[in-house]
Chain A
Amino acid sequence: MCRVSHPVIQVSALSKRFGDTLAVDAIDFAVPPGATAALLGGNGAGKTTTLSMLLGLLLPTAGQIRIFDEDMLRHRYRVLPRMNFSSPYVDLPHRLTVRQNLTVYGRLYGIARLGERIAELAEDLQIAEFLHKPTGKLSAGQKTRVALAKALLNVPDLLLLDEPTASLDPDTGDWVRSYLERYQRGSGATILLASHNMGEVERLCTEVMMMRRGRIVDRGSPRALIERYGRDTLEEVFLDIARSGELRPQAAAQ
């Protein structure tokens, strides 16, 4: 018998309109199990809006989202326990200590043996020494690691990351990327990240969806995109796409 492996994320004709602005314009994409994919694009391209819809924080104007083969719009509570999210733009409550924040979120996810799980993450992410500190008093790098700890509390099968290394120094950024690689290899989780850090995307991702003005204008592996555009780096591809108003024939054909 042939076992069919459904995509972890399946998005069809997804749109989001805010008044006169079409933030996401009828996009389609799928992310297979165990893949690390990226939504790449400049400011206002629609990356964060797309992630918000995938998370159920934002209702689409039209289209379908299936995650783990469940209709996200109708059955998101079946899916949410299996996924998590991290963004440097959405801080955890500042006045709570790191341990208190992790305890509250661990309980929201119904984690068994929560104390052990927090201790395990504290060791893995090197946050043990400031578990007792108010989250608002941490440095940007420490906050990122704590946000990751929160995002990994429930050992998610799907991890959505919004610019996971934004505002981090190169050393901390590299540490976070290495950690994500290890987590992905160890857990087999699927990761979708929104980023405009090309180096990060080249290193982590097997599939890239280039967004511009709410549309996916091209897609492929980082290597395939670089070759298709005749460039040396993904950053050059990004600039080509960002500065051109036209779709490439390959993208239009897909």
Chain B
Amino acid sequence: MSDGGGFSAGRVGAMLLRYLYLLRSSWPRALELVYWPAISMVLWGFTSKFLMTNSSYVARAGGVLLAAVMLWDVLFRGQLGVSMSFLEELWSRNLGHLFVTPLRPYEWMIALLTMSVIRVAIGVLPAMLLAIPLYHYSIFSLGLPLLAFFTLLLVMGWALGLLIDALLLRHGLGAESLAWLAVFLLAPASAVYYPVATLPRWLQDLALVLPSAHVFEGMRAVMFDHVFRLDHFIAAALLDIVYLAIGAVVFLDAFRRARRRGALLQTGE
């Protein structure tokens, strides 16, 4: 039996198992993971096809919109992956059981982040693969930069997910819709489908502090100019580190405050 020492990979594994059991128990949930990324890829695929012959911007690099929509989904699903697993505990009012075990809050946090990777892989990879036969576009043609973009957006999704989880711990399920809505607040300034230069001046300043804006600028540089912009990569990576650290601190602080308020037993439906 555990002596209650430090970090335990076994406890993280137990939490992952709990979320995988949940996914396995409900095929509609598993299907939902794949459904939206695939649908948006199909819609943007046709839009791209149309714009290829009607827009010089898209014609310069076929697949720029498709790559953008798929990478945006990495950010969105990454955040949703953290928030949904967290919400499962609120819906089932399970926090009172979990935290009388030796499970540490940071172990739970690591399990939530790991689960986000799994959910993103399940949701986004099929859409990426489907684009190849449907539109003759492979996002994998981006090469190694794709791995950088994927990782940077995933980590930004984690940071956002942890901040949303902290708000849910504070405000309960009344704030549940934040899990689906919050990321879209950042979409305009993230410049997913257009260059940052398109934005008004004040919004460009905001875009500079979003890792996502640097990633999408970097993606366009690779696709249009065949250049990997190290400046954007470094900016996004540094911002990610700062935001992930803030997300983790805020999440753990929200947990401590929830213990003070008694919310671990009461938070639920």
Interface residues of A (CB under 8 A from B): 18, 48-49, 52, 55-59, 77-81, 83-85, 87, 90-97, 100, 103-105, 107-112, 134, 150, 154
Contact = CB atoms under 8 A, between A and B. Distances in A.
Contacts of B18: 93, 96, 100, 104
A91 B93 contact: yes
B262 A57 contact: yes
A150 B259 CA distance: 22
B259 A100 contact: no
A95 B92 CA distance: 9
A57 B264 contact: yes
Interface string B231-269: 000000000000000000000000010011110110000
A52 B15 CA distance: 22
A81 B98 CA distance: 12
A57 B102 contact: no
Where chain A touches its partner, the secondary structure class is mixed
B25 A95 contact: yes
A120 to B, nearest CB: 15
18 contacts: A18-B261, A48-B265, A57-B259, A57-B262, A59-B259, A77-B5, A81-B2, A81-B3, A91-B93, A93-B88, A93-B92, A94-B92, A103-B17, A104-B17, A105-B97, A107-B11, A110-B2, A110-B10
A183 B15 CA distance: 29
A58 B267 CA distance: 13
B1 A81 contact: yes
B96 A109 contact: no
B101 interface: yes
Given A52-B265, A95-B22, A109-B2, A81 B14 contact: no
Contact of A80 (B13, B14, B101): B101
A108 B102 contact: yes
Contacts of B1: 81, 109-112, 154
Contacts of B14: 104-105, 107-108
A84 B5 CA distance: 17
A58 B260 CA distance: 5
A220 B136 CA distance: 80
A144 to B, nearest CB: 14
B21 interface: yes
Which of A87, A95, A111: most chain B Cβ within 10 A? A95
B55 interface: no
Contact-size category for B: 35 or more
B103 interface: yes
A59 B262 CA distance: 8
B252 to A, nearest CB: 14
Given A108-B11, A109-B2, A56 B100 contact: yes
A109 B15 CA distance: 12
A124 to B, nearest CB: 19
Contacts of A18: 261-262
B101 A108 contact: yes
B49 interface: no
A222 B85 CA distance: 46
A134 B25 contact: yes
B90 to A, nearest CB: 11
Given A56-B100, A92-B97, A96-B18, A107 B10 contact: yes
Given A96-B22, A96-B25, A107-B14, A58 B265 contact: yes
Nearest to B8: A110
A83 to B, nearest CB: 8
Contacts of B3: 78, 81
Contact of B4 (A81, A103, A112, A134): A81
Given A90-B265, A110-B2, A112-B1, A77 B100 contact: no
B151 interface: no
B4 A79 contact: yes
A87 B2 CA distance: 23
B17 A80 contact: no
A174 to B, nearest CB: 26
Interface in B110-134: none
B99 interface: yes
Given A78-B4, A108-B14, A58 B92 contact: no
A104 B21 contact: yes
B53 interface: no
B177 interface: no
Contacts of B22: 93, 95-96
Contacts of B265: 48, 52, 57-58, 90
Contacts of A56: 99-100, 259
Given A134-B25, A154-B1, A93 B99 contact: no
B141 interface: no
